[in-house]
Amino acid sequence: MHIGIIGAGYVGLVTGACFAEFGIFVTCVDKDEKKVKALKKGKVPFYEPGLDELVQRNIKQRRLKFTTNIADAVNDSLVIFIAVGTPPRGDGSAELKHIDEVANEIAKHMDGYKVIVTKSTVPVGTGKRIKRMISSRLKAKGSLSALSFDVVSNPEFLREGAAIEDFMRPNRVVVGADSQQAVAIMKDLYKPLYLIETPFVITSVESAELIKYASNAFLATKVSFINEIANLCDEVGADVNIVAKGMGLDQRIGSKFLHAGPGFGGSCFPKDTRALLRLAEKHSIELSVIRAAVSANERQRHIMFEKITRVMGELKGKTLAILGLSFKPNTDDLRDAPSVFLIERLRRAKARVRTYDPVAMENARSLFPDIVFCKDPYDAAKDSDALVIVTEWNQFRNLDLEKIKGMLRQPFFFDLRNIYDPEKVKKMGFKYFCVGRT
């Protein structure tokens, strides 16, 4: 089988490379000529563990190719994945102009039966929208009766930093389709996953579209919930780690996403929760739980900044060492990262910032040209008044704290990810502050 992937961003590139690894011939299309030129040489434009090797291997074996010409993908492919961006608009709703552009281009170049699959995260009703647009375009050029197609929703559930594993060994594959022929083709495409008994959810297009939003909104709610419990723990003297463990052992709740911290970020949770709220408003439905989760997440960032100012007082002229810039480990993604909010607040308070992140510093330079980017955590701590861990990279879990203490001007240590033992750190002479573990 030959498939096309329209959009060689994070989702499109991971999807294309992984399908190529399954032995399928893949054409990835992107209108960014510079990006395509780099991808042809095997250079991935973002950080994702293992993706460089996967792309390079499948280019070499001629199962994966890149182009700016969408006609190449449409003409050669039975299945065409739409994986373009759906960024938030001013009101939080998903911007679908790129989806519309791709739908029109597919209709323009169609020469036979196609399965058109939305891989992008899109609001309910987008599948029908695509179907109407393509049908209208085919009718306009007199090809509607001669050419048939099906529209499928196949949402992605890729975690940044673990995307390849998530694609190769997913918790489930969701296929939303109104055609048994399209379902059969999608099952054939994902056939290698049947060998590891991956659950398949076969449903309507609308249900598949909503599954993605509902999943992210629920996980975001778990994060906001445990953060609010952590704030209560700070006041009553409880330990949120123990509370979360006691909760997570209940199989109805589960332990995942019960880690207190500065709040969720990234390209999915903030965008998708807001888009779901706008969709609900459009249909006069109040999603009060999700709205509360979004508000709690925004508030949590302010609480983290206030935690620092409450302890350190006036920040003007003081230097803080920020460890971790990406919104989570194993990615260079800074979108809605807690670190970005924190650094902006520190700069407004006239504080100086020294920072280190294993992979995200290059992306941060354009955002913060006036902060100091350091070679390692110890360089960041040098002559700083406080150390602040914002992202829980593994290499931050075993720092030489004696060395860190010797480099700091003052022994303030803010562990916003709760990765250190409070008692041990305090015994070393640090003024240690974490989240929900008073």
Catalytic residues: 268
Q: Is 301 left (phi over 0), alpha (psi -120 to 50) or beta?
A: alpha
Residue 403 CA: distances (Å) to CA of 322, 397, 399, 409, 411: 16, 14, 8, 12, 12
User: Rounded distance, CA 410 to CA 315, Å?
Assistant: 13
- Among 64, 84, 70, CA closest to 2: 64
User: Rounded distance, CA 192 to CA 183, Å?
Assistant: 15
Q: What angle do CA 419, 423, 429 make, to 5 degrees?
A: 100
Phi, psi of 68 (to 5 degrees): -100, -5
- Among 148, 86, 75, 152, CA closest to 117: 152
